[in-house]
Structure 1
Amino acid sequence: MTNHPHALDALAAADAAELEEILLEVCSSPHWAAAVAAAGPWSDREALLAANAAAMASLTTEDLRDAMAGHARIGTPVAGDATSEREQAGIRGVDRAVLDELREANAAYEAKFGHVFLICATGRTAVGMLAALRERLPSDAAAEAETVREELRKINDIRLDRLLDTF
């Protein structure tokens, strides 16, 4: 992967409020954005991704809910939201029956855990996401929270890479 020195310099040059606003586009947790911003400037891509991992590890249950609030339900990307549509590209053209199963499984998951099913959907098919949802449904709340934390870290890594590519 490219080190993106120009992008890292541009992020370092942003004032604190602007940087946090940029980071909130990556992850909707204010705590995460503040923690990643505080770790800057980053010497390279790996340092930025390490800041993401450290920030994710520090999130409370409420912070995780803030982070999940920025994600669409699997199977229903937000129309007109390029990020949501790109990340859930695996549901395009899928059979209606699979979408119905996803909707039902999402409802069961949300009833149990009180939040949307979160998975790094990039590169996954609808059937694969449905299988993962069903696999995780029996988990207890503590185990699922850690799985969600790891999925969010992966999503943020992808989004940070994309952010670096935009500069």
Structure 2
Amino acid sequence: MDVEELDAVGGRRCEELLRTCCDAPAWAARTTARRPFGTLETLLAVVEEELAATSEDDVDVALAAHPRIGERSDSATSRREQAGALGAGEDVLRQLADGNRRYEEKFGHVYLVFASGRSAEELLAILDERLGNDPATERAVLRRELAKITRLRLERLLASRRAS
């Protein structure tokens, strides 16, 4: 699939495809409504603009779709993105589990980080650093991480559809 094909699919199907990249229903609907995109650059710009405008409630819905860092997931996408964490030793996984718990107690949602290409030790160091954030700072960081994850997933979606 390329951007032209994404422009051509029905609205409901476009929203479904976008929600595989970021499971925020209102964001997917608003992004779909801005078609046609025409180019990948335009699509990515719209995606980022709409993510920036996404309500806190919709961000929370998207967060609920993400597994904890270091925990096994039924999602092939999450397993691929967290490959560096999932191969870690028991001690690091235990530290991640403890950090996840502390993070969720402090911020009220799952620790979200762009995990692709990062080791468990890197993800743990980032987690420890982010635990020092105040809620407003952390929410801004979280939104940036969500945008990076969404962009990666969108690029993979378009690449995988082209390859098939």
If the TM-score is normalised by the length of the shorter chain, which range does it land in?
over 0.9
Kept in 2: contact 1:87–1:122 (CA 8 A): yes
> TM-score with structure 2 length normalisation?
0.94
Q: 1:115 aligns with which of 90, 104, 109?
A: 109
Helix, strand or coil at the partner of 1:28: coil
Q: Tell me by how many angstroms 1:32 deviates.
A: 1.2
Unaligned runs of 5+ in 1: 1-5
Q: 1:94 aligns with which of 81, 88, 92?
A: 88
Q: Tell me by how many angstroms 1:92 deviates.
A: 3.3
Q: In structure 1, what is the Cα distance between the partners aligned to 2:35 and 2:114?
A: 25
Tell whether 2:69 aligns with 1:85. no
Q: In structure 2, what is the Cα distance between the partners aligned to 1:26 and 1:141?
A: 25
Q: In structure 2, what is the Cα distance between the partners aligned to 1:90 and 1:40?
A: 36
Moved over 3 A (4+): none
Q: In structure 2, what is the Cα distance between the partners aligned to 1:90 and 1:14?
A: 35
Between the aligned residues of both structures, percent identity stands at 42
Q: How many residues align?
A: 161
- Pairing 1:1-167 to 2, within 5 Å after superposition: 7-79=2-74, 81-167=75-161
Q: Which amino acid letter does the alignment assign opposite residue 31 of structure 1?
A: A
Q: In structure 2, what is the Cα distance between the partners aligned to 1:41 and 1:77?
A: 37
**What is the RMSD computed on CA atoms of the aligned residues?**
1.1
Q: Which amino acid letter does the alignment assign opposite residue 118 of structure 2?
A: R
